[in-house]
Structure 1
């Protein structure tokens, strides 16, 4: 069942065991925190460890948002889902280029080498929804 707000659309695809969160516009830090809290609640309801985060309609970020995701939110995901790893495919606009245009907080983190060492969660950037879904399906089959 979809859950929609003015800032975020959340849908669970049971056929793919995939949670899809689509940001609908740029958001403030409090909206980001509220939205990601709702995404985690939906993931817990569905026991979904594979998430497609569509950030294509967003471009703004700031250090506080990135820090909150890295320090508080992402470390909580696996414990909240019974210590299962969480895979996040972050969709960005096809024309987005790292380092040349603003990035969403999750896209900033996906480019960070500190994420590579995490076993609890994995974040990858994609500009194609099909490739992102394929990657998530491959992680589910491991």
Structure 2
């Protein structure tokens, strides 16, 4: 199963039980919401709680995007996926430096300390293999 638009591709790897989301360019707030809505639909369809989010082609973010993701989207994932913790491996460019380079909304959230009882876990990776290993170890 693969779904795509001009700014996002979503595919499911049944052998790894892994949802792979690749952002293809920087997006607007509306595209961000549309993309993550499509991602959740695919996750529900496949009961996928392990997501590889490839953000390497994105560099832009703003406070509204981060707030929507943190307050409106991520907290609802678990309840829509049989109350399971959702693991999100956020893939950033290997040369990305948090203090020096703009971050995507998910990368911004990955840098914050997790809150107790949070129904999702976000981790940053510069290497897709390491991200996949982390997902497989936690899902």
- Same fold, TM-score > 0.5, yes or no: yes
d(CA) in 1 for partners of 2:109 and 2:59?
A: 14
Q: Which runs of 4+ in 1 moved over 3 A?
A: none
d(CA) in 2 for partners of 1:117 and 1:129?
A: 27
Q: Shift of the alpha carbon at 1:82?
A: 1.0
Query: Are 1:3 and 1:10, in contact at CA under 8 Å, matched by a contact in 2?
Result: yes
d(CA) in 1 for partners of 2:73 and 2:116?
A: 17
2:96 maps to 1:93: no
Counterparts in 2 of 1:81-120, with a 5 A limit? 81-113=81-113, 115-120=114-119
Q: CA offsets per residue over residues 69-119 of structure 1, 9 Å max, x none?
A: 000000010000010100000000011001111000000000011x24344
- TM-score normalised by the chain length of structure 1: 0.96
Structure 2 unpaired stretches of 5+: none
- TM-score normalised by the chain length of structure 2: 0.98
Structure 1 unpaired stretches of 5+: none
Query: Are 2:26 and 2:58, in contact at CA under 8 Å, matched by a contact in 1?
Result: yes
2:125 maps to 1:126: yes
d(CA) in 2 for partners of 1:7 and 1:80?
A: 24
Query: Are 2:88 and 2:121, in contact at CA under 8 Å, matched by a contact in 1?
Result: yes
Count of residues in Structure 1 that have an aligned counterpart in Structure 2: 139
Please give the secondary structure, in 1, of the residue aligned with 2:122.
strand
d(CA) in 2 for partners of 1:83 and 1:118?
A: 12
d(CA) in 2 for partners of 1:138 and 1:119?
A: 19
Counterparts in 2 of 1:65-84, with a 5 A limit? 65-84=65-84
